[in-house]
Structure 1
Amino acid sequence: MFSLQTIFGSGKQFYALLNEAADGAYDAAQALHQMMKATDRQPALDAFKLARQRERAVSDKIGKALVESFITPIEREDIESLGSALYKIPKQIEKFADRYSLATRHLESIDFAPRAAMLQQAAEVVRDMVRELPRLDIDRMTALNEKLRAIENEADRLMLELYRDIYSGRLDAQQMFLLKEFFEILEKAIDRCREAGVVVYQIVLKNS
């Protein structure tokens, strides 16, 4: 039996759950950056698996709350879209960490830290955007959206530098393959952040 508070409440629990999802995405990105900065780079995958489990649990809670709540603070489809977009960020990060753990000895000379730092920055902006969502402040959200776009543009520029390294002739075939694969996974993670940011920005545009 649903309580009146559940049925007719303000729906603040949705913002809390979305914040939790955004925090989980940021924590995963931060863990990856820390791992890439470590001198030994021995991958400890527990942090990524926990982040993914946390994100899955939040996703389930959002789905349950959508079923049980009569009123939502923003459209249900928007809540679902944002929850799904946030879920994909730690999923992509865990993909990098899992594969990296299998290829560590082949990647010792590759510095992933700068791009991992950009991923962390992107996830931080997404976290800020989700926290600002209840205010529906279009000016603030526009500034954050532009910041996220700038990070994405810089990531694209670094990808061009990567391809120059790949085709420089100084790498063997295996290194070329691994370098391309792992940097594309990182690029995809940044894209996932950008996608989540676009969802937030569109929600604010629609409701402001």
Structure 2
Amino acid sequence: MFSLQTIFGQGKQFYALLEEAAVAAHDSTKALHAMLRDAGHQPALDAFKLARQRERAASDKIRHELVNSFITPIEREDIEALGSALYKIPKQVEKFADRYSMALRQLQGIDFAPRAAMLEKAADVVVEMVRALPAMKLDAMKSLSDRLRSIENEADRLMLELYRDIYSGRLDAQQMFLLKEFFEILEKAIDRCQEAGTVAYEIVLKNS
């Protein structure tokens, strides 16, 4: 049974739920960076699974509220798009962590931490962008979008360095394959952050 507050309220709960999803995504990237800084130990995966569970719970709540709410603060399609983009970040992070834990012996001596640091920074900016949504201030959101784009550009530069290592001739075929696969997963995770940031920026552009 629908409550009048849910039906006729201003729908501000969506901002809280989107922030909850963004924070869960950011927490997954922090866990990944911490894991890769301590690469000498077998990684624990609980933090990643917990972040995914929190993300799923937030996504489920968003879908539930979209069904039950008569009024939303922004267009329903935009809420769905941003929720979907945020959901993909910890999914990609967990994919890296799961595979890394299985290939740890083959990856000795390969430092993923600098790229993971870039991913954590990108996810942090995404949290700021989601938190800035209610104010609908275009200048502030554009500044955050520019920061996110700068992080993505730096990540692209680091990927170019990776390809120089791959084709340097000092790696065997297995190392070349693994190095390329794992860095591309990290690159895709950063792309997911950029996608979420783009949706947030376009929401403000549309509503400011």
* TM-based fold match above 0.5: yes
Structure 2 equivalent of residue 57 of structure 1: 57
Structure 1 equivalent of residue 137 of structure 2: 137
User: Is 1:179 matched with 2:182?
Assistant: no
The Cα of 1:22 is off from its aligned counterpart by 0.3
Structure 2 equivalent of residue 7 of structure 1: 7
Large movers: runs of 4+ above 3 Å: none
Aligned-partner Cα distance in 1 for 2:194–2:205: 16
Structure 2 equivalent of residue 147 of structure 1: 147
Question: Percent of pairs identical after alignment?
Answer: 77
Aligned-partner Cα distance in 1 for 2:6–2:32: 38
Aligned-partner Cα distance in 2 for 1:86–1:113: 22
Deviations 1:109-152, CA, capped at 9 Å, x for gaps = 00000000000000000000000000001000000000000000
Aligned-partner Cα distance in 2 for 1:56–1:21: 8
Aligned-partner Cα distance in 1 for 2:159–2:175: 16
Aligned-partner Cα distance in 2 for 1:207–1:127: 19
Aligned-partner Cα distance in 1 for 2:11–2:203: 16
Task: Indicate the RMSD between aligned Cα atoms, in angstroms.
Answer: 0.7
Aligned-partner Cα distance in 1 for 2:172–2:204: 48
Q: Structure 1 length as normaliser, TM-score?
A: 0.99
| Distance change in 2, residues 1:165/1:206 (3 Å) | same
Aligned-partner Cα distance in 1 for 2:28–2:41: 16
Q: Which runs of 5+ in 1 are unaligned?
A: none
The Cα of 1:39 is off from its aligned counterpart by 4.7
Aligned-partner Cα distance in 1 for 2:62–2:101: 32
Q: Structure 2 length as normaliser, TM-score?
A: 0.99
Count the aligned residue pairs. 208
Deviations 1:21-61, CA, capped at 9 Å, x for gaps = 00000000000000010152421101101111111111110
Structure 2 equivalent of residue 103 of structure 1: 103
Amino acid at match of 1:122: A
Q: Which runs of 5+ in 2 are unaligned?
A: none
Matches within 5 A, 1:10-159: 10-159=10-159
Amino acid at match of 2:180: K
| Distance change in 2, residues 1:39/1:180 (3 Å) | closer
More deviation in 32-41 or 58-67?
32-41
